[in-house]
């Protein structure tokens, strides 16, 4: 004898009872989300509304709300000589960091994927920098790069390989590369972890079948690994792009925007408006603009992610 | 109607208190009745504030608890506390931020207390001027620091210069730096914070002041860096960069953290330094006897200094103003100035106590007399204009010293716009 399935049992109930049962299930489901809803309401939506309101007012750091002044804060963004170059610099940094982090992260994930006695050690070594705070890592890098106290140049000078200290932060390009190196060192292990999980989700029999058909390692990577890794790669891309567009700590500590304001990120401009120029209204308007841009970029990426899942 | 015994007692206490209150406060020194006071200050001045707080707590019933805030976060912390009406009883401010904070009403008006203070005419006036806004006084000098020129006597001797004779004009400064730079190797003529607005405000502004010139109008709303004076000052530094007298590229990249790190290594001929660092300079490559000190001079002579450091005031949120004032007034006492500030070799905020048993080093004596010839610039937007890493002052001097100065007019206008905002 076979027992009726749940859907058969539900179908056998009269419509009114079925509706009540469905409603109860929905209410129970809703109740489970209440703690998260409260969290989002208090720590995300409320501050968001406050920032939006602040962006419509003349709001000094020390003087508080001095009244509605829309659209002055938003108009001032167009005249801000620092903002648009900072947006362009942030985009350049984001592209560079995303390409490097995903490439190196994938390389490391492939390296530690195979089970060997070294893979556990390597995974730990690659993941260790992730446990260091970004501000602490930036201070560490500042010490290493400093011509006054850094340990890199003196031994090279003693060996006669260089004439003077290596100018790690002297030019815009050098500062960008030095900061990117720090960020790649710090986060490559994190992206390795995400991509390793993705790699482990690919069934081995696909590789075996393709290998039997005579596929080369490159073809295996190109036609099996990459397509099936796209969800993980998309997630990693979203995290990397969002994190890089919001870059602040590393540049604030390493370059402070130098030389000649060529390494100023968008968030640094927001910080400067809020705490150097003490203008919370303009800082809030800038935050709203950055938020809108981030939402748009993430929507595009989600569309790409969904597209890849349909493929 | 008969008054109860309790009511009579309360009335008597009230009358006594109304008489005793003014008696306690009329000497201008506030009250010392065991009040617990909170004090915030920036970490940069921690050692010196700690010395004062410990001495005060040891000799008074009032007890001050000091909180030291990371220097870079201090402005943010004060701003957030002001917005939440949560300021401590007492807090200090870098003198260049005082106008910004007094104009925003963060301090209690203490004009009457300051005016009633004994020996008020002996307190460094620059520290009170910078805390004055719209004719009302909001603060007093707390921790004093000055900028001076320091040279390395050992390197001067090697370069054939008189090790006992420092420069008396900016041109002499450049000539002597150039002579030391010729020694070559690891030795350089001079060093400055080429990417540090605060460093160069602190050490270059006095050059113009020594010549009787200005950096801003008295209101602090108009920049004067397009003057002939400033064009000449920038040119002297530009020439020193061009001929290798300045340590490059380190100087061009110096954002502040290692601004004073090279001089103690004994590889710099002469450079402007904070006076209070003299006691901590001796180390690898530099002996105390090798450090010469001269006042900062102008193009044509004269002497001046940037009277920097911190002021202190009573916050607008404090309900313990009488006790808080007792601490501020005590800082200016002979006991605090001589037995704490002078004892530890620091710059006094009283102009009449420089001659005391602790100050025997002629260099420290110089620090305590040069203050009278110095200035503290006053401007509501001083920090955003001169200290901000993205501010217009850094752009101005970098263009004028590392570039050709072609944008000086436009950059000066950008500074005026920032100051007058």
Query: Which residue ranges make up each domain of chain A?
Result: 6-54, 81-310
The CATH code of domain B147-306+390-420 reads: 3.40.190.10
Rounded Cα distance between A265 and B386, Å, is 20
Reported as a pLDDT band with limits 50, 70 and 90, residue A13 is low
Beta-bridged to residue B90, according to DSSP, are B39, B314
Whether B389 has its CB under 8 Å from any CB of chain A: the answer is yes
- Comparing alpha-carbon positions, the chain B residue that sits nearest to A262 is B390
pLDDT at B420 over 60: yes
ipTM of the complex: 0.80
pLDDT at A309 over 80: no
How much of chain A is in helix, strand and coil states, percent to nearest 5?
75, 5, 20
CA distances from A205 to A60, A111, A228 (A): 63, 20, 13
pLDDT at B9 over 50: no
Whether B403 has its CB under 8 Å from any CB of chain A: the answer is no
- Whether the CB-CB separation of B302 and B212 falls below 8 Å is answered with yes
What would the mean pLDDT of B113-138 be, rounded to a whole number? 92
Instruction: Quote the pLDDT of residue A18.
Output: 87
**Strand spans (E) along chain A:** 57-60, 64-68
Rounded Cα distance between B304 and B215, Å, is 13
* Cβ-based contacts of B389 with chain A (< 8 Å): 256-258
The CATH code of domain A81-310 reads: 1.10.3720.10
Rounded Cα distance between B295 and A129, Å, is 49
- Which member of A60, A82, A165 has the closest CB to residue B250? A165
Provide the 3-class DSSP secondary structure of residue B131.
coil
Q: For the residues of B378-406, what is the DSSP string, one character each?
A: --TTHIIIIISTTSHHHHHHHHHHTS--T
Asked if the Cβ–Cβ distance from B104 to A62 is below 8 Å, we say yes
Instruction: Quote the pLDDT of residue B204.
Output: 98
Using alpha carbons only, what angle is made at residue A152 by residues A151 and A158, rounded to the nearest 5 degrees? 95
- Which member of A62, A256, A260 has the closest CB to residue B79? A62
HSE (side-chain half, CA atoms, 13 Å) at A200: 11
| CATH domain B26-145+308-373 topology | D-Maltodextrin-Binding Protein; domain 2 (3.40.190)
Rounded Cα distance between B33 and A211, Å, is 88
Instruction: Quote the pLDDT of residue A142.
Output: 93
Of residues B73 and A239, more confidence is placed in: A239
Query: Which residue ranges make up each domain of chain B?
Result: 26-145+308-373, 147-306+390-420
Q: What is the value of pTM for the model shown? A: 0.84
């Amino acid at each position: 004898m076979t027992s009726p399935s749940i859907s058969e049992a539900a179908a056998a109930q009269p419509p009114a009872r079925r509706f009540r049962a469905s409603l109860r299930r929905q209410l129970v489901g809703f109740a489970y989300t209440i703690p998260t809803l409260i969290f989002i309401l208090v720590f995300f939506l409320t501050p968001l509304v406050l920032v939006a309101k602040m962006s419509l007012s003349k709001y000094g750091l020390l003087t508080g709300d001095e009244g509605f002044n829309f659209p002055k804060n938003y108009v001032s963004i167009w005249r801000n000589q620092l903002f648009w170059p900072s947006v362009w610099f942030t985009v350049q940094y984001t592209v560079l960091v995303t390409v490097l982090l995903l490439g190196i992260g994938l390389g490391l994930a492939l390296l530690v994927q195979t089970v060997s006695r070294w893979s556990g050690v390597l995974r730990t070594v690659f993941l260790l920098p992730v446990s260091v705070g970004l501000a602490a890592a930036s201070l560490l890098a500042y010490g290493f790069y400093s011509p006054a106290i850094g340990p890199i140049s003196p031994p090279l000078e003693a060996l006669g390989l260089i004439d003077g200290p290596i100018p790690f932060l002297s030019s815009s390009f050098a500062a960008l590369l030095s900061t990117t190196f720090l960020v790649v060192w710090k986060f490559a292990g994190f992206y390795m972890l995400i991509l390793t999980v993705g790699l482990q989700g690919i069934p081995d029999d696909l590789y075996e079948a393709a290998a039997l058909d005579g596929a080369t390692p490159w073809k295996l990577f190109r036609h099996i690994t990459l397509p099936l890794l796209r969800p993980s790669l998309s997630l990693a891309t979203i995290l990397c792009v969002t994190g890089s567009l919001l870059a602040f700590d590393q540049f604030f500590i390493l370059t402070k925007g130098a030389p000649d304001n060529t390494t100023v990120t968008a968030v640094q401009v927001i910080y400067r408006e809020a705490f150097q120029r003490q203008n919370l209204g303009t800082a809030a308007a800038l935050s709203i603009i950055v938020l809108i841009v981030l939402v748009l970029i993430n929507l595009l990426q989600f569309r790409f992610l969904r597209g890849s899942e349909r493929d | 109607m008969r008054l109860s015994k309790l009511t009579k007692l309360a009335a008597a206490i009230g009358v006594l208190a109304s008489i005793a209150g003014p008696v306690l406060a009329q000497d201008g020194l506030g009250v010392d009745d065991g009040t617990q006071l909170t004090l915030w200050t920036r970490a940069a001045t921690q050692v010196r504030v700690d010395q004062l707080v410990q001495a005060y707590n040891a000799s008074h019933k009032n007890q001050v608890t000091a909180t030291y805030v990371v220097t870079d976060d201090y402005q943010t912390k004060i701003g957030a506390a002001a917005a939440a009406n949560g300021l401590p009883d007492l807090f200090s401010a870098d003198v260049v931020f005082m106008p910004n904070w007094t104009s925003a009403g963060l301090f209690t008006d203490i004009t009457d207390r300051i005016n009633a203070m004994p020996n008020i005419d002996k307190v460094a006036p620059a520290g009170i001027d910078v805390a004055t806004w719209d004719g009302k006084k909001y603060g007093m000098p707390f921790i004093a620091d000055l900028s001076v020129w320091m040279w390395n006597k050992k390197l001067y001797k090697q370069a054939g210069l008189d090790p006992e004779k420092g420069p008396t004009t900016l041109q002499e400064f450049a000539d002597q730096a150039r002579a030391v730079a010729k020694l070559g190797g690891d030795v350089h003529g001079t060093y400055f914070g080429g990417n540090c607005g605060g460093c160069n405000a602190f050490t270059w502004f006095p050059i113009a002041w020594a010549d009787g010139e200005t950096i801003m109008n008295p209101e602090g709303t108009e920049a004067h860096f397009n003057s002939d004076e400033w064009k000449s000052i920038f040119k002297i530094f530009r020439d020193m960069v061009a001929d290798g007298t300045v340590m490059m590229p380190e100087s061009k990249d110096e954002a502040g953290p290692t601004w004073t790190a090279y001089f103690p290594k004994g590889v710099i001929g002469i450079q402007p330094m904070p006076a209070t660092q003299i006691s901590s300079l001796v180390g690898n490559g530099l002996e105390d006897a090798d450090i010469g000190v001269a006042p900062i001079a102008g193009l044509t002579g004269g002497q001046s200094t940037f009277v920097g450091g911190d002021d202190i005031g009573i916050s607008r949120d404090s309900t313990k103003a009488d006790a808080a004032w007792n601490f501020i007034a005590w800082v200016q006492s002979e006991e605090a100035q001589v037995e704490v500030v002078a004892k530890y070799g620091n710059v006094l905020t009283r102009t009449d106590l420089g001659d005391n048993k602790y100050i025997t080093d002629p260099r420290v004596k110089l620090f305590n007399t040069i203050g009278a010839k110095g200035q503290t610039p006053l401007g509501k937007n001083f920090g955003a204009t001169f200290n901000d890493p993205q501010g217009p002052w850094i752009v101005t001097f970098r263009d004028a010293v590392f570039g050709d100065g072609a944008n000086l007019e436009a950059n000066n206008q950008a500074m005026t716009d920032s100051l007058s905002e």
